[in-house]
Structure 1
Amino acid sequence: MDILDCITKKRDGGALSRREIDEMIRGITEGEVPDYQTAAFLMAVYFRGMTDQETFLLTDAMRRSGDTMDLSDIPGLKVDKHSTGGVGDKATLAAGPLAAALGVPVAKMSGRGLGFSGGTIDKLEAIPGFRTRLGEEEFREQVRRIGIAVTGQTGNLTPADKKIYALRDVTGTVENRSLIASSIMSKKLASGSDAVLLDVKCGSGAFMKDLGEARELARLMVAIGRSAGRKMAALITDMDQPLGLAVGNALEVREAIDTLRGSGPADFTELVLELTGAMAFLGGRAPDAETGRKMAGQALAEGQGLKKLQEMILAQGGDVRVTEDPSLLPEAACALPVRAEEEGFVNRIDAMAVGEVSRDTGAGRRMKDEEIDLSAGVLLRRKRGDRVRKGQELAVLFGSDASRLAELAPSLRRAFSITETAPAPVPMVLDRVW
Structure 2
Amino acid sequence: MAIRWKGLNRQETACLTEAMVKSGEVLTWPESWKGKMVDKHSSGGVGDKISLVLVPILACCGVKIPMVSGRGLGYTGGTLDKLESIPGVKVSFDTKDLKETVGKVGCCVVGPTDSFVPADKLLYGIRDVTDTVKSNGLIASSIVSKKAAEGVDFLILDVKCGKAALYKDQGEAEELARLMVDISNGFNIDTTALITRMDHPIGLAIGNSLEIVEALRCLRWNCPVCGDLNTCIQCRGCKDIKELMYELGGRLLCKAGVTKTMKESRGMMEGTIRSGEAMERFRKLIVAQGATEDTAKRLCDPSTDFWMGLPKAKQITDLQLQQEGYVHDIDAQKCGKASWKLGAGRTKTDDILQFGVGLELQVCLGDKIRKGDVWVKVHHDSDTIPAEVLSLLEKAIVVKDQELTTLHRSRVIKVIPPDSSNTCATRSSL
- Tell me if TM exceeds 0.5: yes
Partner of 2:412: 429
Q: 2:361 aligns with which of 377, 380, 384?
A: 380
Is the contact between residue 117 and residue 365 of structure 1 (CA under 8 Å) also seen in structure 2? no
Partner of 1:343: 324
Structure 1 residue 241: deviation in Å? 0.2
- Asked whether 1:204 is paired with 2:184, we answer no
Is the contact between residue 44 and residue 77 of structure 2 (CA under 8 Å) also seen in structure 1? no
Distance across 2 between alignment mates of 1:74 and 1:377: 43
Q: Write out aligned runs for 1:90-169 (5 A).
A: 90-116=49-75, 118-169=77-128
Distance across 2 between alignment mates of 1:184 and 1:212: 20
| Distance verdict in 2 for CA 1:140–1:286, change over 3 Å | same
Distance across 2 between alignment mates of 1:170 and 1:155: 20
Q: Render the CA deviation track for 1:306-339: whole Å, top value 9, x for unaligned.
A: 1211121222231212123312211110111111
Q: What residue identity is the alignment partner of 2:320?
A: R
Segment drifting more, 225-234 vs 183-192: 183-192
Distance across 2 between alignment mates of 1:395 and 1:74: 49
Distance across 2 between alignment mates of 1:383 and 1:405: 24
Distance across 2 between alignment mates of 1:274 and 1:168: 32
Structure 1 residue 233: deviation in Å? 1.2
Q: What residue identity is the alignment partner of 1:99?
A: L
Is the contact between residue 70 and residue 79 of structure 2 (CA under 8 Å) also seen in structure 1? yes
Is the contact between residue 46 and residue 77 of structure 2 (CA under 8 Å) also seen in structure 1? no
Structure 1 residue 154: deviation in Å? 2.1
| Distance verdict in 2 for CA 1:356–1:238, change over 3 Å | same
Partner of 2:252: 279
Q: Render the CA deviation track for 1:249-281: whole Å, top value 9, x for unaligned.
A: 000000000001135422112112222212212
Structure 1 residue 214: deviation in Å? 1.5
Q: Render the CA deviation track for 1:194-252: whole Å, top value 9, x for unaligned.
A: 22111111111111212221112111101111011111111222211000000000000
Q: What residue identity is the alignment partner of 1:272?
A: M
Structure 1 residue 369: deviation in Å? 0.7
TM-score normalised per structure 2: 0.87
Is the contact between residue 358 and residue 378 of structure 2 (CA under 8 Å) also seen in structure 1? yes
Partner of 2:199: 240
Q: Between the two proteins, what is the percent identity of the paired residues?
A: 39
Distance across 2 between alignment mates of 1:208 and 1:362: 25
Q: What residue identity is the alignment partner of 1:279?
A: L
TM-score normalised per structure 1: 0.86
| Secondary structure in structure 2 of the residue aligned to 1:65 | coil
Distance across 2 between alignment mates of 1:131 and 1:46: 34
Structure 1 residue 69: deviation in Å? 2.3
Greater relative CO (CA pairs within 8 A, separation 6+): 2
Unmatched 5+ stretches in structure 1: 1-41
Distance across 2 between alignment mates of 1:416 and 1:151: 35
Q: What residue identity is the alignment partner of 2:260?
A: P
| Secondary structure in structure 2 of the residue aligned to 1:398 | strand
- Asked whether 1:258 is paired with 2:238, we answer no
Q: 1:363 aligns with which of 325, 337, 344?
A: 344
Unmatched 5+ stretches in structure 2: 224-234, 418-430
Structure 1 residue 407: deviation in Å? 4.8
- Asked whether 1:397 is paired with 2:356, we answer no
Partner of 1:313: 286
Is the contact between residue 46 and residue 173 of structure 1 (CA under 8 Å) also seen in structure 2? yes
Structure 1 residue 66: deviation in Å? 2.4
| Distance verdict in 2 for CA 1:407–1:217, change over 3 Å | closer
Say what the alpha-carbon RMSD is for the aligned residues: 1.8
